A = this chain, B = another copy of it.
């Protein structure tokens, strides 16, 4: 339920004039990346929903298109004709304000429209939208803001396509590969160091330069004590020591709800790990691979991240701490464009500094996802997109190896329920000073 929501927010639009041709270029580029991501798929791969949180690739392709049709073309292009009268019903994700919709858990029952028809739908909308843009008929900032939002929305679904297809393939005893290119680790890893930050009455949230979702605003002051942050995420090898120390069978290490999840779902390792003849393997987007001990641990729930931190005598960072630290480094790392699509080992640096803050794995914080002080939910359909999920979820930060490179920033707030594991989610430790 939580998968595509954070993308869909009222854009805090860049108020500087944006040249139309830049918009067109950006639109074409992002739409093209989405379709390029589908190149390795067989027609059958587009259809399946392996659990309610997962959507079929076909649905992602159509839903992102529906966004532009519904929020740009139908209200603003007078001559535009809907591609199909029922697609509004089929491809609405969760916008109550826009009308009724197909049940999320039943997205995998739709054999029609076919994949070819969905690509036709994309072309139909692309042509109309580019025509609208090139006609210069856009009424003003609001429409451009909506298109910009739609582009970010589509990027979010690019990440979901990769995340979801990994889950679909993991449910198949044949363990198919999406790509051959997930290489073996090219680094022996790096030791863990601690980077200190002082007490502060600091600022949190987006300052308004460039695009941001509504939930990153308003920028506001937060007081925090001194803390230290780990220089890199927890590795598979470190997490394996937690397992070998009985981490999954010691109730005292777990939150109460986490312990219920461990027992009810019989967790004994991260999602996608399998033990075969005494050795650990994990499902990747290139199929099964033996576990690399230097790679960041991935596909852990908040409960596992929290339990690991407790076992290690540390804790998870708050999102304020994480953002304070993240603003000290560049937004750079291993993202989806590398084609690796798997977290990479840390690279040792001569000085102890923060590495892998962006990319590789989303980092669970200990902060419940909530409105920033002074936050106001936008009116209308866009008001539903972030605000209504502000309960029972935790914030993750920093993006992952399947996040588009220009989609992430220090203030970006991702959020998932504490038992979610199919995202590329990992652990960065913090501690009090």
Residues of A participating in the B interface, judged by any CB pair closer than 8 Å: 1, 5, 42-48, 50, 58, 86, 89-90, 94, 96-97, 102, 106, 108-115, 168-169, 171-174, 176, 201, 220-225, 251-252, 254-259, 302-303, 306, 318, 366-368, 370-371, 373-374, 383-384, 388-392, 418, 432
Contact = CB atoms under 8 A, between A and B. Distances in A.
B256 A388 contact: yes
A172 B256 contact: no
Contacts of A306: 391
A205 to B, nearest CB: 13
Contact of A390 (B5, B173, B255, B371): B255
A178 B368 CA distance: 39
B168 A109 contact: yes
A111 B432 contact: no
A392 B418 CA distance: 8
A211 to B, nearest CB: 24
A262 to B, nearest CB: 12
Contacts of A251: 96-97
Given A223-B221, A252-B383, A388-B256, A111 B374 contact: no
A112 B96 CA distance: 35
B42 A114 contact: yes
A223 B200 CA distance: 11
Given A109-B50, A109-B172, A373-B224, A44 B86 contact: no
A105 to B, nearest CB: 12
Query: Ordered nearest first, which 4 A-B pairs have the shortest CB separation?
Result: A368-B368, A96-B251, A223-B223, A44-B111
A336 to B, nearest CB: 21
